[in-house]
Amino acid sequence: MEKKINSGKKIAATKSMEFIDPKKIIGLGTGSTVNHLINKIHETFVLNGQLITAVSTSTETTDLASSLGINIIDLDQVDELNVVIDGADEVDPENNLIKGGGGALLMEKIVASCSKQFIIIVDSSKIVSNLGKFPLPVEVVQFGSERIKDSVERLLVSLGYQMPKVTFRRSETNKYVTDQHNYILDLHLNEILDAKALSLGLLQLVGVVEVGLFMDLASKIIIGDD
Ligand code: 5RP
């Protein structure tokens, strides 16, 4: 199963190369599927002497891309991105996504929202009829984070979720800290009832920075399956 997922990720990453113009700045998402893409960019362009410039969505992506000779620049140095390619944790039939499994949702959403085309690369296990089996990541500030978690739980109950489980994302020893120095709450909902209402409600809570629901953003979904 793991092997099949990995080859699906590779197939999707390879296909997405068709949408890259090496003369234009590329937006690179985060995660194992994007790592396949970064390796492909290295093999296809960098090793052939082509200078590739990209905007990154995480330290993880910056480290890998830089180590493979891709020039990473700051988003603020770019007016508009032609294409951003990223992975996802779930994709529904309307191309709405859950993202943030790798903890990079805030930077990913900012970069995606600056892009003309936001292309998602996934293996077929990510395709679902309803979002929500994958715990929904919500980035929150560190200050007062236990109280923010309480208010998230209260909101979920008011929206009709029965006994919602909300947990802090953990690193080996402590709460996981994002590249922007925030925490992540994972919302174990099983099924998301109304993604728009949930997203709006969460974004109105003080201390919530961003929500891992990406709605009306993806322009293309590439699904890899062998
Ligand atoms: C990181 C993400 C990733 O794109 C998502 O978790 C998919 O990861 P992978 O390609 O490893 O399955 O949203 O924040």
Residue 153: pLDDT above 80? Answer: yes
Residue 84: is its pLDDT beyond 90?
yes
Residue pLDDT, tens place only, 27-57: 999 999 999 999 999 999 999 999 999 999 9
Whether the pTM exceeds 0.85: the reply is yes
Query: Is beta strand 115-123 parallel, antiparallel or unpaired with respect to 220-224?
Result: parallel
Could you tell me if the CB of 89 is within 6 A of ligand 1?
Answer: yes
pLDDT digits (tens, 9 = 90+) for 157-196: 999 999 899 999 999 999 999 999 999 999 999 999 899 9
99 alpha carbon – ligand 1 mean position (Å): 6
Q: Give the burial class of 30: count Cβ atoms within 10 A of its Cβ; 0-12 exposed, 13-18 middle, 19 or more buried.
A: buried
Q: For 22-56, give the DSSP string.
A: TTS-EEE--SHHHHHHHHHHHHHTGGGT---EEEE
Q: Which residues contact 12 (CB under 8 A, 6 or more apart)?
A: 33, 121, 122, 123, 222, 223, 224
Mutational test site, ligand 1, from 4, 6, 33, max ligand atoms within 8 Å of CB:
33
**Average pLDDT score over residue span 200-220:** 98
pLDDT-derived band at 92 (thresholds 50, 70, 90) equals very high
Q: What is the pLDDT of residue 4?
A: 75
Is residue 2 over pLDDT 90?
Answer: no
Residue in this structure with the two tokens 């953003």, named with its chain if needed: 217
Q: Is 103 in the pocket of ligand 1 (CB under 6 A)?
A: yes
CA of residue 19 relative to chain centroid, distance: 19
Q: How far is the CA of 150 from the centre of ligand 1 (A)?
A: 27
Is residue 220 over pLDDT 90?
yes
Whether 108 is a known active-site residue: answer yes
Q: Report whether 145 contacts 114 (CB < 8 A).
A: no
As a whole number, the mean pLDDT across the chain is 97
pLDDT tier at 201, thresholds 50, 70, 90: very high
